Amino acid sequence: MKRYRFVLLVQQNYTFEILRPMQKIMRERGDEILWLALGKAVNTSLFHEDENMTTSIADAVKFNPHAVFVTGNVVPDFIPGLKVQLFHGFEWKKKGHFRIRGSFDLYCTQGPFFTTRFEEFAQQHGYFDVVETGWPKMDNVFPVGASSAERSKKQILYVPTFSPRLTSVYDLLPELDKLAAQNRHDIIVKFHPKMANDAIQLYQSMVSKHPNMHIVDSSDVMTLIRDCDLVLSDTSSVIAESLLLHKPVVTYKNSLPDEYLCNFEDAEKLVEVIDSVFANSDVQADNFALFAQQYHPFNDGRSSQRIIDEAIKRIEYGLDAKGKKPANFLRNLKLRKQENYWPWTRNNSLHLGK
Spell out the per-residue pLDDT of the chain, length 354, in tens: 899 999 999 999 989 999 999 999 999 999 999 999 998 899 999 999 999 999 999 999 999 999 999 998 889 888 999 999 999 888 765 555 667 888 899 999 999 999 999 999 999 999 999 999 999 999 988 876 555 556 789 999 999 999 899 999 999 999 999 999 999 999 999 998 889 999 999 999 999 999 999 999 877 888 899 999 999 999 988 898 999 999 999 999 998 888 888 999 999 999 999 999 998 877 666 788 888 999 999 999 999 999 999 999 999 999 999 999 888 778 778 877 777 778 765 544 444 444
Domain(s) labelled CATH 3.40.50.2000 in the chain stretch across: 154-295
Domain(s) labelled CATH 3.40.50.11820 in the chain stretch across: 5-141+299-339
Query: For residues 84 and 78, what is the distance between their CA atoms, to the nearest angstrom?
Result: 14
Cβ atoms within 10 Å, residue 236: 27
- Domain 154-295, second-level architecture: 3-Layer(aba) Sandwich (3.40)
SS3 (DSSP) at 140? helix
Name the class of domain 5-141+299-339.
Answer: alpha beta
Determine the distance from the C-alpha atom of residue 169 to the mean position of all C-alpha atoms in its chain, rounded to a whole number: 20
The alpha-helical segments, DSSP class H, found in the chain are 15-29, 57-63, 112-125, 169-182, 197-207, 221-227, 238-244, 270-279, 282-295, 303-317, 329-339
Q: Taking the complete model, does pTM exceed 0.75, yes or no? A: yes
SS3 (DSSP) at 23? helix
Q: Are 351 and 56 in contact (CB under 8 A)?
A: yes
